[in-house]
Structure 1
Amino acid sequence: MDGSPDRGIVSAARPDDELTFPLSAAQLSLLVAQQLRPEIPVSIAQYVDVDGPLDIELLTAASKQTGREIGSGYLRLVEVDGVARQWLDLDMDDSLDVVDLRAESDPESAAQEWMRREHTAAIDPFTDRLVRLAVLVLRDDHYYWYSRIHHVALDGFGAMSMMNRTAEIYTAAVRDLPVPPAVTAPLQSLVKAEADYLGSTRWERDRDYWNTKMADKPGGTSLASSTAPSQAWSRLRSATVPTELRSSLERLAAAHDVTTSSVVIGALAAYLARATGTRDVVLSLPVSGRTTKAARRSGGMMSNVVPIRASVDPHFAVGDLLHEVKIELTGALRHQKYRHEDLRRDLNAGDHSIADGRGFHGPLINLMLFHSGITLGDAHGELNVISTGPIEDLSVNVYQTSAAEEIQIDFAANPDLYTNEDISRHHRRFLEFLELFCAAESGTRLMDIDPDAAGKWIAEVQHARNVEYWSATLSNPAEELGLPVVAGTGRTSTPLEIEAGLCRSLETMATTMNTSLFVLFQSAMAGLLRRVGSADEVSIGVSVRGYGASNPDDFVSMFANQLVLRSTVSNTMTLTDLVGAVDTVAIEALEHADILLSSVTAALGDGRWVETGPLFRAMVCFEEPLDAHPRFPGLMVGAPIGSDLATVPELFVSLAIPTGEHADFDQPISGVLDWLGTKEQAEDLADRYLRILTAMVGTPHSALGSVDLLRPDARQALVPPVLPITPVRTLSEILSDRIRATPEAIAVVAGSERVSYRELDRRSNQLARKLVDHGVRSESLVGIMLRKSVDMIVAAVAVVKGRRRIPPTRSCAPRRAFGIRGRGCATGVRHLRFHFPELHFPELRLPEL
């Protein structure tokens, strides 16, 4: 036949509906992908390079028998009531195409071109043959046994099983031996097994595993700077791994009890991390999805793609990375049946198909480290993979040749994402890196493998780590301080002076606690803001300069960056604990110091400072460069100069700490406290700041809340004045004084009747004597039953005088009660008797006086 690759149109026969069966979830997803991009065939293609005699008639018969055993060779799709279903059309044309290229000047090149055109041509899965087999005759004893299979019918693992079974049947026929029995499962049973898996306990475990691992929705890793739709053909670069490198690879695998596949995956992850400047690498690993012996010998579409996620930090050792990859592979294979389409849907990562742009995972790494040789009777064949399907980004194929058991590594790249130069460069550099990786000792850090090339990666990883840290730390604006700001007063400042003795004590404390003066001053500020404010989380800004500075003047933008120290402070914590807490926060902040605050705010979102509040509300800076911490030599703190500070914080403290030859603290430290409030408030804050510093060295184990922050005058202002005690005077004494001073003055007015103090005294004395004569004593109860009148007042004064004139009795006799009543008050006595029924007392009538 001629050399033009046709599509192999199948018969138009339509089966009875009962002969059809549903598509599996995997098949359905691939069919949808094909329909979304009909010009890109979702197929696999491979060929066996056969050297030796080949009986094409026997090979055709073996292919037909294999196709019937596994079913996939006769699979067709049909729509039933608008739903895609599948069936086995045993009457379709199952001939083996033969393409004779012996007349070509370069048969090998002609064969490669024929296969390229055939496997990249569009396929209609409802009308075209899903499985196509062909023999390309190059010479009398040299053949290419070619197969192109749509993924809906068969996956890569099934295709290999089909070719191996065909070779097994063919070899038995050539050698006149019995054909080994087939161990396959019907396609219907494979579809049912997948349907049973959905919703099962194992399905739930697999779903939970992948949803937990990919919960933060990492982006796919790529060496390309853009995205593009997948393509049917690729830019291919291949190379055979040298014998020495293979030996190194096997030694490294044996030393860490991992497979050679784990070593290749680890090396690829490290290379991608270095090339992309990341430490979180996600690869795509094709898996068979076949967990039973019968499934592994059967046809059908069961394969899946699972993510392999590796954390690749520059400081990790080679052994650490290989151990992590081993764990990742174990988990991935254990949970390989959960569909990647379902995972995408779970994580709301978009309903993208395999034919869409960049995939959900990273580059595909296809590991085929098995014997690729195939025996066909008296001929020997070598399997060659042409395509594993549409190329989304980059596919790394690693397989073993049979001739010398060599390892070959191919890079197949999307031609719309990578130029020939791009793919050649990456392929070459990966092989060079793989050699260095396999030659490294177990404890070698990844950053020390080709350190010159790793510099950019280290810097990018550090930057990403800094952005991640500050984005989490500063995810919310700083809490309001809760200080008593007086609106409209503007900013005021006051001098701040720290005595030399206190400075020396602070220096000693810093040395003892393995921290710095910088941390102690920040701790005192955090304590002050917690004591006088309402914020539990205190945010303080710090101006810093980069590492390794021998001369501050060498840096044009020195101290142009700010860090934020966010500390949770409680009044119950001791001052020592306060310093420890701030020291921990400072260390974490300084570890992530080499990033501009503007970069952080950009990562957090534009306008955060103005619209949602500042990232810090107080600041402590230093007029002279000061060592930040003993753990970070060369990292200095200072005053904000040329900074990107958007606004001056509410509270700003600047200290002139002597450094160098003047750092012996024989003089007080001067400073300034600047405050968005009154002068008096600024002075008070400065004094309280000094009191906390003093307490930190004087009583470090006392609670922050117990530190006395009040000046003597402030404390005096809180204590109310003590007034002189006025002596208590009796009613009789008051009346006597008035009688002596103004005897004729009017004392009582009742209607038209008026009585002077002299008359009141006379009449009340007279009645008082009568009371005494009737037995009234100081403890006696005397009831007055009179209307409001002069007589009522006279009686009241008389009772007071009568009881006062007689000293209290010392006998145990019961107390007596008396009643005074006037005309018209006859019921009064009865009322008294009702309220005090145990009392029996005589009555005095005012007319008797």
Structure 2
Amino acid sequence: MRTPLTSAQVAIWFSQRLHPEVPDNLVHYVDVRGKIDEVRLAHAIRGAARETGISTVGFIESDGWPYQVARPASEVEVQIVDLRKLPDPYVAAQRWMNADRTRPVDIVRDDLVTAAILRIGDDRVLWYSRVHHLVADPFVVAALLRRAAEIYSADKRDEAPIPSAWSAAHSAVDAEYDYCGSAAYSRDSEYWTEQLHDAAEPISLAGRSAEPSLDTVRIQGTVPAAVNARIAYRSEQLGTTIAIVVAAAFTAYQLRATTSDDPLVSLQVAARPTMLLRRSPGVLSNVIPLRSRITASTPVRSAIRAVAEATIGALSHQRYRRDDIIRELGLVSDSAGDFGPVLNFALNESTVDIGGTRFDVHELAGGLVNDLKVTLRSDANDNLVIEFEANPRLYSHTEVESHHVRFLAFLEQFITAADFTHIGALRGFGPNLQLVR
């Protein structure tokens, strides 16, 4: 029996038909140190996939329109590869993962979920996962990795894992169908019209748009401990979160680094505001605009509060689809369908616990990047990490690195400035966007 796709899946389907050479995969690996039983881990990976049902998800096209179908019962393939005899096993593993990540995918015929355990040392493996965005969104993939770690850890203790939280009784498609006919849908439409009817066109830091690329430029860095502590102090002082403070700093950076006097940024969201939706496997994630209306004359303290209020409002209406907002308001963007650079808060999705030890989840691909994505995550040592990932058709490696360095410097002055210091009074940018100290 065929079933409809969610709106998010439909957008991904046609994007993949338009750009089949750029697979929209969600790809991660976990660098696991210590004694690992590959057979048990493979069993746990298959079990976690089985609970979500993603191993039996397939797609067909009929009269030019996509549908989801149930594939014959099958298990996710988990390859176990021993690379220890090679001169540099870690480099070999990175090449193996990159080759799999970039391999073209036929979204009708190929397996859309795969995993591997790459043995690179007697006490070290890289646990690799590739899931196509048509099958699961980032929320589901993060939960899938955590669940596999739970099952493995319980098995090692000879215990049964805690019951699965997934519910098959109410699918993502059912949830979206109910939402589109609800009063909440109408309220969300009215909210976004009110928020954006007089908004300026979104502006990219690159000043232009381009098609997505198979590879991206990634630069990441750990926020210094003193700056991290100051961010935490600011967030506690204003009754908000670390993510909001960083979002406010980046919005101010966008204001100072572009010609915009009403900066828009994008916010990547799970679009699962209820417990029922958080228990529904499928594809629901969304990208929504964040308009705080800050200007160069806005004090730092007020900017943080404005971004906090804008975020609360946006999250309250996060299920309304990006494509619907763009279509209804006639927005044209430098960012190829986004509302400016995308902010991704992944503070609770960047580690897994295996046998009582936390390990970092390393992202190799988090979906297509149209312009620039800024991800905030914490690592296994509770350090704050900020990553810039950019479309190489718009930004060179040097440009991304420069923006990353400048933003970290700007972030530090933003959170150490006096409360009533205007954003325009912070150290600004020279003709080539170098930070003026």
Pick the TM interval, shorter chain: over 0.9
1:199 aligns with 2:181: yes
Question: Is 372-381 or 438-447 further displaced after alignment?
Answer: 372-381
Q: 8 Å contact 1:77–1:125 — kept in the other structure?
A: yes
Distance in 1, matches of 2:138 and 2:431, equals 40
What does the per-residue CA deviation read over 1:768-812, in whole Å, with 9 as the maximum and x for residues that have no partner? xxxxxxxxxxxxxxxxxxxxxxxxxxxxxxxxxxxxxxxxxxxxx
Aligned with 1:184: secondary structure? coil
288, 307, 322: which one aligns with 1:325: 307
Structure-2 residue corresponding to 1:448: 425
Alignment of 1:552-631 (within 5 A): none
Structure-2 residue corresponding to 1:408: 385
Structure-2 residue corresponding to 1:171: 153
1:90, CA displacement in angstroms? 4.5
1:145, CA displacement in angstroms? 1.1
Aligned with 1:154: secondary structure? coil
What does the per-residue CA deviation read over 1:647-684, in whole Å, with 9 as the maximum and x for residues that have no partner? xxxxxxxxxxxxxxxxxxxxxxxxxxxxxxxxxxxxxx
Structure-2 residue corresponding to 1:435: 412
Identity of aligned residues (%): 34
Structure-2 residue corresponding to 1:632: none
CA distance 1:327–1:343, shift in 2 (3 Å): same
Aligned with 1:49: secondary structure? strand
Question: Is 389-398 or 331-340 further displaced after alignment?
Answer: 389-398
334, 337, 340: which one aligns with 1:362: 340
Which amino acid in the other structure matches residue 125 of structure 1?
I
Distance in 2, matches of 1:434 and 1:357, equals 23
Which amino acid in the other structure matches residue 213 of structure 1?
Q
Distance in 1, matches of 2:414 and 2:357, equals 39
CA distance 1:104–1:441, shift in 2 (3 Å): farther
Which amino acid in the other structure matches residue 100 of structure 2?
E
1:311, CA displacement in angstroms? 2.3
Structure-1 residue corresponding to 2:395: 418
1:383 aligns with 2:361: yes
Structure-1 residue corresponding to 2:196: 214
Q: 8 Å contact 2:28–2:130 — kept in the other structure?
A: yes
Structure-1 residue corresponding to 2:233: 251
Structure-2 residue corresponding to 1:278: 260
Q: 8 Å contact 2:342–2:372 — kept in the other structure?
A: yes
1:291, CA displacement in angstroms? 2.1
Distance in 1, matches of 2:84 and 2:296, equals 55
Q: 8 Å contact 1:98–1:136 — kept in the other structure?
A: yes
Distance in 2, matches of 1:371 and 1:76, equals 26
What does the per-residue CA deviation read over 1:444-472, in whole Å, with 9 as the maximum and x for residues that have no partner? 11122215x48999xxxxxxxxxxxxxxx
Which amino acid in the other structure matches residue 417 of structure 1?
L
Structure-1 residue corresponding to 2:270: 288
Distance in 2, matches of 1:418 and 1:310, equals 26
1:24, CA displacement in angstroms? 1.6
Which amino acid in the other structure matches residue 390 of structure 2?
A
What does the per-residue CA deviation read over 1:521-545, in whole Å, with 9 as the maximum and x for residues that have no partner? xxxxxxxxxxxxxxxxxxxxxxxxx
TM-score by length of 2: 0.93
Alignment of 1:43-54 (within 5 A): 43-54=25-36
What does the per-residue CA deviation read over 1:535-574, in whole Å, with 9 as the maximum and x for residues that have no partner? xxxxxxxxxxxxxxxxxxxxxxxxxxxxxxxxxxxxxxxx
Structure-2 residue corresponding to 1:837: none
What does the per-residue CA deviation read over 1:397-435, in whole Å, with 9 as the maximum and x for residues that have no partner? 1100012x1011111111111112111111111011111
Q: 8 Å contact 2:359–2:380 — kept in the other structure?
A: no
Distance in 1, matches of 2:340 and 2:207, equals 13
Structure-2 residue corresponding to 1:301: 283
1:114, CA displacement in angstroms? 2.4
1:379, CA displacement in angstroms? 5.8
CA distance 1:361–1:82, shift in 2 (3 Å): closer
Which amino acid in the other structure matches residue 400 of structure 1?
S
- Give the gaps of 5 or more residues in structure 1: 1-17, 458-849
Aligned with 1:331: secondary structure? helix
Distance in 2, matches of 1:217 and 1:316, equals 18
Alignment of 1:360-759 (within 5 A): 360-370=338-348, 372-377=350-355, 380-403=358-381, 405-450=382-427, 453=429
Distance in 1, matches of 2:259 and 2:43, equals 54
Aligned with 1:308: secondary structure? strand
Question: Is 389-398 or 215-224 further displaced after alignment?
Answer: 215-224
Distance in 2, matches of 1:66 and 1:27, equals 22
What does the per-residue CA deviation read over 1:199-223, in whole Å, with 9 as the maximum and x for residues that have no partner? 3100000111112212135322211
Distance in 2, matches of 1:229 and 1:81, equals 27
Which amino acid in the other structure matches residue 162 of structure 1?
L
CA distance 1:217–1:30, shift in 2 (3 Å): farther
Structure-2 residue corresponding to 1:67: 49
Which amino acid in the other structure matches residue 369 of structure 1?
L
CA distance 1:161–1:97, shift in 2 (3 Å): same
Structure-2 residue corresponding to 1:726: none
Question: Is 116-125 or 47-56 further displaced after alignment?
Answer: 116-125
Aligned with 1:28: secondary structure? helix
Q: 8 Å contact 2:203–2:335 — kept in the other structure?
A: no
Q: 8 Å contact 1:45–1:148 — kept in the other structure?
A: yes
1:60, CA displacement in angstroms? 1.8
1:171, CA displacement in angstroms? 1.0
20, 25, 49: which one aligns with 1:38: 20
Distance in 2, matches of 1:203 and 1:197, equals 6
Distance in 2, matches of 1:438 and 1:380, equals 29
Q: 8 Å contact 2:292–2:307 — kept in the other structure?
A: yes
Aligned with 1:280: secondary structure? coil
Distance in 2, matches of 1:102 and 1:282, equals 49
Distance in 2, matches of 1:121 and 1:133, equals 14
Which amino acid in the other structure matches residue 302 of structure 1?
L
Which amino acid in the other structure matches residue 255 of structure 1?
Q
Structure-2 residue corresponding to 1:182: 164
- Give the gaps of 5 or more residues in structure 2: none
CA distance 1:260–1:380, shift in 2 (3 Å): closer
Which of the two has higher C-alpha Rg? 1
1:232, CA displacement in angstroms? 2.5
Q: 8 Å contact 1:52–1:380 — kept in the other structure?
A: no
Distance in 1, matches of 2:327 and 2:106, equals 27
Aligned with 1:68: secondary structure? helix
Distance in 2, matches of 1:241 and 1:438, equals 13
What does the per-residue CA deviation read over 1:482-537, in whole Å, with 9 as the maximum and x for residues that have no partner? xxxxxxxxxxxxxxxxxxxxxxxxxxxxxxxxxxxxxxxxxxxxxxxxxxxxxxxx
Q: 8 Å contact 2:222–2:385 — kept in the other structure?
A: yes
CA distance 1:120–1:217, shift in 2 (3 Å): farther
Distance in 2, matches of 1:307 and 1:218, equals 12
Which amino acid in the other structure matches residue 280 of structure 1?
D
Bigger relative contact order, structure 1 or 2 (CA pairs below 8 A, ≥6 apart): 2
Equivalent pairs counted in the alignment come to 433
Which amino acid in the other structure matches residue 165 of structure 2?
V
Aligned with 1:84: secondary structure? strand
